[in-house]
């Protein structure tokens, strides 16, 4: 958890200027967290949790020096392989990442909304 928190601090709080009180929420303990590691170094993290709407994937973060190396793809695939494919699986994507999630099988729906001052859209996984 220390490594995951450090990655999220770097990516969200420092790079994207998300206030820490928004980044770290009441779902930290009830979520399942993963860590991506390259050559023994933690480079990415994400989490998922069960909600009334299905499984929500959240807090995908990859350190700058590990981006564009397939880390994000690997984390999404890892999580999807562990969830019930018949369940609703969704996430709130930053608008800048919609193409990334779309190539992994997620479809955008609804209007743009803001979380931490960053534009997002809900995306649902369509296997």
Question: Domains in the chain, start-ordered, CATH in brackets?
Answer: 2-125 (3.40.630.30)
Query: Residue 64 phi/psi, 5° resolution?
Result: -55, -40
Q: Taking the CB of residue 67, how many other CB atoms lie within 10 A of it?
A: 13
C-alpha span between 19 and 111 (Å, rounded): 24
Contact 61, 7 (CB under 8 A): yes
Question: Residue 112 has what pLDDT?
Answer: 97
Question: Residue 84 has what pLDDT?
Answer: 77
Question: Residue 8 has what pLDDT?
Answer: 96
Question: Residue 85 has what pLDDT?
Answer: 72
Question: Residue 58 has what pLDDT?
Answer: 96
- In the numeric block, the tokens 């995908």 are attached to 60
Contact 53, 90 (CB under 8 A): yes
Could you please report the per-residue DSSP string of the chain? -HHHHHHHIIIIIIIS---HHHHS-TTTTTSEEEEEEETTEEEEEEEEEEETTEEEEEEEEE-GGGTTSSHHHHHHHHHHHHS-TTS-EEEEEEGGGHHHHHTTTEEEEEEEEEETTEEEEEEEE--
Q: pTM for the full model?
A: 0.92
Question: Residue 37 has what pLDDT?
Answer: 97
Per-residue pLDDT of the chain (127 residues; tens, 9 = 90+): 999 999 999 999 999 999 998 899 999 999 999 999 999 999 999 999 999 999 999 999 999 999 999 999 999 999 999 997 788 999 999 999 999 999 999 999 999 999 999 999 999 999 8
């Amino acid at each position: 958890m220390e490594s995951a928190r450090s990655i999220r601090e770097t990516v969200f709080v420092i790079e994207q200027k998300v206030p820490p009180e928004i980044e770290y929420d009441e779902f930290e303990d009830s979520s399942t967290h993963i860590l991506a590691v390259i050559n023994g170094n933690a480079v990415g993290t994400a989490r998922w949790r069960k909600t009334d709407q299905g499984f929500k994937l959240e807090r995908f973060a990859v350190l700058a020096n590990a981006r564009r190396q397939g880390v994000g793809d690997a984390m999404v695939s890892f999580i999807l392989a562990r969830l019930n494919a018949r369940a609703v699986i969704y996430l709130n994507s930053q608008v800048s990442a919609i193409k990334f999630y779309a190539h992994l099988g997620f479809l955008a729906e609804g209007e743009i909304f803001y979380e931490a001052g960053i534009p997002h859209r809900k995306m649902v996984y369509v296997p």
